[in-house]
Amino acid sequence: MQRRTFIQGLVAASALSSIPLTRAFAESRVSAVSVEQLPLLKGQLTLYLGRGEGGLYEKVLDAIRERNPALDLRIRRGATAALANTIVAEARAGVRRADLFWAVDSGAIGLVSEQGLAQPLPKDLTQHLKAGFRYPQWAPVTGRIRTIPYNPQRVRAEQIPKNIMAIADSKLSIGWAPAYASFQSFVTAMRLLKGDLQTASWLRGVSKRATSYAGELGVVMAVERGEVDIGFANHYYTLRLKSGKPDANVELAFTENDAGCLVNASGILALSQNETAINFIRYLHTREVQSFLASEAYEIPLVRGVEPPTGLPSLASVSPPDIDLTRLAELRPTLDLMRDVGVL
């Protein structure tokens, strides 16, 4: 869906559907509802928003505001991890300033929810999410797949191991961003699946042939320039590069059933028992928002009935590990391990 169509659809002045909200969601177990089936939002909401996706989340919020003129939406922006820590600190001080927390990483969601701060969500909100992404206290919004971008002029696809652990013993030159939050979530997943000893061994092996970059877009650009054979990055960095440079020398490879193809998610949770906050979350699961974030941010739609556009990997095409995404909040042991190994 093009941005203009999304904005027009979300702020259209046509009357809302007469279908009651609970019935609308009950009848949409196989497909997302349209924004026109949702009630108008009224009152004041404070949203803590983790930085994400080049302003596209802001465009979603602007469109929601336009459609809901009686909504006083106040936004506090910041790094996702910092906002999660702020929410926990405020709660310990007996203060609640946020009604909602929209995070770009499920580890930050886990940090907040494990403190007992997340409010339970109604089943009709979570049941239309795709299998593997239904949680009682938070709602995934869009997914991001761990991938191995590679330069086809330097390496053939069949030379890239299907097992992420085997890359440590390969002779491939590698680009990575150890200080980047997405990479640290990936290493956390590896720790949970393989244990600290194997993860430490993997980090040491990879570091011998790795070049560090500030972020994962930088990793993908380095792969495309031929500085390294392969890299580690979320899928959308490669797709965004190729959208502006269709002939870019970079393709995507996937490992199987391991942390190398982890499907992480941005997500949102409610911090107050507020019906308007719950209905705000429903807006993020509409066909319009899910399609917009898929076509413009190259993120994976997680609501059933919304298919990714051509060129975007489908969840059916990958084999991610079975892992509770909120456990990615166990970041401190990961950082300690990475420092002990010497990659941070």
What structural domains and CATH numbers belong to the chain?
Answer: 3-143+265-316 (3.40.190.10), 144-262+324-341 (3.40.190.10)
User: Whose structure tokens read 């980090």?
Assistant: 203
| 302, HSE (Cβ side, Cα atoms, 13 Å) | 26
pLDDT of residue 53: 58
The confidence score (pLDDT) of residue 249 equals 97
Q: Which of 198, 248, 193 is nearest to 221 (CA)?
A: 248
pLDDT at 226: 98
Low-confidence ranges of the chain (pLDDT < 50): 1-5, 11-28
Q: Are 110 and 140 in contact (CB under 8 A)?
A: no
Residue 22 identity: T
Instruction: Provide the pLDDT for residue 52.
Output: 62
Q: Which residue has the tokens 């054979």?
A: 229
Paired strand residues for 150: 230, 251
Averaged pLDDT of the chain: 90
pLDDT tens for 156-205 read: 999 999 999 999 999 999 999 999 989 999 999 999 999 999 999 999 99
Q: What is the pLDDT of residue 310?
A: 86
Question: Kindly report the CA angle at 184 between 263 and 167, in degrees rounded to 5?
Answer: 75
Given this model, what pLDDT does residue 56 score? 87
Residue 217 is predicted with a pLDDT of 95
* 165 token code pair: 């652990």
Asked whether the CA dihedral 118, 123, 129, 134 is positive or negative, the reply is positive
Q: What percent of the chain has pLDDT over 70?
A: 90
